[in-house]
Amino acid sequence: MKIEAVDFFYLSMPEVRDIGDGSQDALLVRVSGGGLVGWGECEAAPLVSIAAWNCPMSHSACKPVSASVLGQEVNSPNDIRRINALVRAHSLDLLQADHTLSGVDVALWDLLGKRLEAPVYRLLSHDRATPKSAYASVLFGDTPHQTFEKAHTSRQAGYRAVKFGWGPFGRGSVNDDTEQLHAAREGLGEDGILLVDAGTVWGDDVEQARLRLPALQACRALWLEEPFTSGALESYRKLAAEAQPIGLRLAGGEGCHNFDQAKNMIDYAGLGFVQIDTGRIGGITSAYQVADYARAKGVQFVNHTFTTHLALSASLQPFAGSMADSLCEYPAEPSSLARDLDGGALQPDSNGDIRIPESPGLGVEPNLAAIRKYLVDAEIRVGNRVIYRSPEVPE
């Protein structure tokens, strides 16, 4: 089938707050072809990714993403891989292109799954989808007590593992962080799994991270995530060498926007876990490449997902069949936008496990009424040409 149309739906909460909640807006991508539609999602900054779809060409290696997608034939997984490579080559100098491509690639896999009447993970050659143990991903409370409450509530809700991140962590004193970590451990109980996300707060400063190691050890955190920005390979490696002997592993990689960057994190950063956002890395195509490489290198693959269950389903497909990659980030505090859009399609079962839908494609259809409700009216014009206008949402 031929790719006939690609439409971008920019959704937003009426008010976006200055907090680390990535579900406050969303960029949905709808790909149409062969009488079917596929849906995908790009992570973050919707307007900028829209501009990268259809901006004027700057030169031969700086074309809009649309130039490599519209009109292409998609009949097999290799067609999607071919289109992915085309975008990378033709939009080499367009930085945002990788994020735009991500949502388009996801939608292409959804479309192809529907066409071939198979869940995406099967198109990726996984025989079956193994259940993934969901960890609740929540923000640190503003106070240790709030963090305790969040930990306690998450355990009551059935989560065996909880990840705390952002908020005040790493921004105050070592003592402040220590109190937060102990509150989290106390709320989780002895057998809860504690994961900690520093949200790149220390840049590349190994010493700042090192100061938190005793508390992380005392509270038995399984991993410390993003002590540094993605790509600060030397800082990661130095910290990993000190963390490993005390039973702490490093996690990172969500900022990677292509396979090479994730490969470098695996090769040089001393990671125990590589976390990939399908909405940034270049979609399911590139995430699958990373999952494959990580497995070969003995690094555990984990999805990075902070938005809707459409993005969640997309992010699970690349490592669906890998028993060793058993964890799943689960956005446990979604905005009403995210909840309305996906209807809470993927719920943990009584074991706290998430199962990938067995229906064709990604198995998560966005709710059109929610799209209408949260759609942002936007327009981009260059000269006499309107290169973007928010599309109509069908009834």
Is 381 an interacting residue with respect to a second copy (CB under 8 A)? yes
Q: Between the CA atoms of 133, 137, 140 and 141, what dihedral angle is there, to the nearest 10 degrees?
A: -100
Among 32, 143, 153, 258, binds a second copy (CB under 8 A): 258
Is 241 an interacting residue with respect to a second copy (CB under 8 A)? no
Nearest to 221 by CA among 173, 165, 280: 165
| Alpha-carbon span 65 to 50, nearest angstrom | 10
Return the structure tokens found at 155.
């355990």
Is 370 an interacting residue with respect to a second copy (CB under 8 A)? no
Among 1, 7, 36, 47, binds a second copy (CB under 8 A): 47
Between 1 and 380, whose beta carbon lies closer to a second copy? 380
- Kindly determine how many residues on this chain lie close enough to bind a second copy according to the rule CB under 8 A: 66
Q: In degrees, to the nearest 5, what angle opens at C-alpha 64 toward C-alphas 78 and 254?
A: 65
Q: Which stretch binds a second copy (CB under 8 A): 11-19, 121-129, 172-180, 344-352?
A: 11-19
| Alpha-carbon span 167 to 25, nearest angstrom | 19
Nearest to 167 by CA among 186, 188, 131, 139: 139
Is 263 an interacting residue with respect to a second copy (CB under 8 A)? yes
Q: Which of residues 78-117 bind a second copy (CB under 8 A)?
A: 85, 88-89, 92-96, 98-99
| Alpha-carbon span 66 to 53, nearest angstrom | 5
* Pair 333, 163: CB distance under 8 Å: no
Nearest approach, Cβ of residue 371 and a second copy (Å): 16
Region of residue 189 (phi > 0: left; psi between -120 and 50: alpha; otherwise: beta):
left
Burial of 156 (0-12, 13-18, 19+ CB in 10 A): exposed
Q: Which stretch binds a second copy (CB under 8 A): 1-9, 74-82, 111-119, 224-232?
A: 224-232
Is 379 an interacting residue with respect to a second copy (CB under 8 A)? yes
Nearest to 125 by CA among 282, 267, 288, 235: 288
Strands 36-42 and 249-252: unpaired
| Alpha-carbon span 26 to 22, nearest angstrom | 9
| Alpha-carbon span 354 to 315, nearest angstrom | 12
Q: Which stretch binds a second copy (CB under 8 A): 60-68, 123-131, 174-182, 366-374?
A: 60-68
* Pair 5, 31: CB distance under 8 Å: yes
Nearest approach, Cβ of residue 373 and a second copy (Å): 15
Site of tokens 């069949």: 321
Nearest approach, Cβ of residue 19 and a second copy (Å): 5
Per-residue string for binding with a second copy, 264-283, x by CB under 8 A? x--xx-----------x---
Among 4, 73, 234, 349, binds a second copy (CB under 8 A): 234
| Alpha-carbon span 224 to 187, nearest angstrom | 18
| Alpha-carbon span 372 to 306, nearest angstrom | 22
Among 51, 138, 276, 299, binds a second copy (CB under 8 A): 51
Q: Which stretch binds a second copy (CB under 8 A): 1-9, 58-66, 106-114, 360-368?
A: 58-66
Q: Which stretch binds a second copy (CB under 8 A): 180-188, 281-289, 363-371, 372-380?
A: 372-380
Is 75 an interacting residue with respect to a second copy (CB under 8 A)? no
Is 44 an interacting residue with respect to a second copy (CB under 8 A)? yes
Return the structure tokens found at 175.
């003592």
Nearest approach, Cβ of residue 113 and a second copy (Å): 27
Is 229 an interacting residue with respect to a second copy (CB under 8 A)? yes
Is 158 an interacting residue with respect to a second copy (CB under 8 A)? no
Go through the chain and tell me how many residues it has: 395
Between 255 and 361, whose beta carbon lies closer to a second copy? 255
Q: Under the rule (CB under 8 A), what is the footprint of a second copy?
A: 12, 16-22, 24-25, 43-48, 50-52, 55-62, 85, 88-89, 92-96, 98-99, 166, 199-200, 203-204, 229, 231-234, 255, 257-258, 260-261, 263-264, 267-268, 280, 376-383, 387
